[in-house]
Structure 1
Amino acid sequence: MFDTILLPTDGSEYAEAAADTGLELAQTHDATVHVVSVADTGPLGDLRLPGDAASAKDAMRSQAREFVDVIVERAEAADLDVTGTVLQGPPESELLEYARNNDVDLIVMGTRGRGGVHRMAMGSVTDHVIRFGDIPVFVGNSGPNSN
């Protein structure tokens, strides 16, 4: 049913919990996994890190790579076909474009993550992906320690 599953991550516990579900689905369907993190290097994304813009963007890309690598390692340990990608730009549009360009059948993502000022100004990434995407989205709304 699902040949390609996209697991967006921002390193939050909610993204990690959604990744667990996505990896289980990938095993069940023998699907290829795409792990993506988007370094929000737009004007509001720069507000999250101190220092000059170039250093902040480098730090955000490096952090995004770390988030991706954690889930890629878990997918490899489960013997899944996996790719890891770091993008930069507005997360909501970058994720949808990536999903369309890579023939993704399902997006599995959490609802609470890192957002701060960006989320208040623009709305959540998950909300945007659900509203403007044409790909099924499996949404988890709790982290591993919630009731």
Structure 2
Amino acid sequence: MFKKILAPVDGSIGSKAAAKKAMQIATDYGAEVTFVYVAVDIYSSSRLSNEDYNQLQSAYMAQGEAMLEDVINEVKIEGVLTNKKMLTGHPAQVLLNECKEGGYDLVVIGSRGQSLMQDFPMGSVSSRVVQYAPCTVLIVR
């Protein structure tokens, strides 16, 4: 049933739990898991020079890459094919585009990520993905 699973990660406890669940599901179905980190593009909301923007965005991407590697190594299960992607933009929109373009059967996402609004029962990114994804979405708490 599930052959391609998308697992967005952002370093939050919820996204780590979702990554672990994605790997368990992949084991059960013989699926592959693509872990994705979406770096918010800071340029649209900043007044940085091009040089400062490039340095800051590079640092942000490097931090995301390291976090992505850590999560993958933490949840790794022998025999499950994994991929990783680093993307940039508004997280919800980027994830929805990736769902459509990548032909995923399932998205496994944490209920809340790294945001300032920790008191809401479901984060804005996971909420938008649930509403608009073209495939099944599993929310993990």
TM-superposed CA distance for 1:59, in Å, is: 1.8
Deviation at 1:33, TM superposition (A): 0.6
Could you say what the CA RMSD is over the residues aligned between the two structures, in angstroms?
Answer: 2.2
Give the equivalent residue in structure 2 for 1:144.
none
Name the structure 2 match of 1:58: 58
Task: State the aligned residue count.
Answer: 132
The answer for the alignment partner of 1:111 in structure 2 is 111
8 Å Cα contact 1:72/1:83 also seen in 2? no
Q: What is the identity, as a one-letter code, of the residue corresponding to 2:128?
A: H
Partner in structure 2 of residue 3 of structure 1: 3
Please say if residues 75 and 81 of structure 1, whose CA atoms lie closer than 8 Å, have aligned partners that are also in contact.
Answer: no
* Unpaired stretches in structure 2, ≥5 consecutive residues: 47-51
- Judged with a 3 Å threshold, the aligned counterparts in structure 2 of structure 1 residues 45 and 135 are, in CA distance, closer, same or farther, namely farther
The TM-score with structure 2 as length reference comes to 0.83
Any conservation in 2 of the 1:111–1:126 contact (CA below 8 Å)?
A: yes
Shift of residue 42 of structure 1? Answer: 4.0
Partner of 1:30: 30
User: Could you tell me how far apart the structure 1 residues matched to 2:45 and 2:64 are?
Assistant: 13
The residue that corresponds to 1:91 in the other structure is 91
Identity fraction in percent: 27
Query: What CA distance in whole angstroms lies between the structure 1 residues aligned with 2:59 and 2:139?
Result: 28
Deviation of the 1:134 alpha carbon: 1.7
Shift of 1:82: 1.0
**In structure 1, C-alpha distance between the alignment counterparts of 2:40 and 2:135, rounded to whole Å:** 22
What amino acid is aligned across from residue 131 of structure 1 in structure 2?
Q
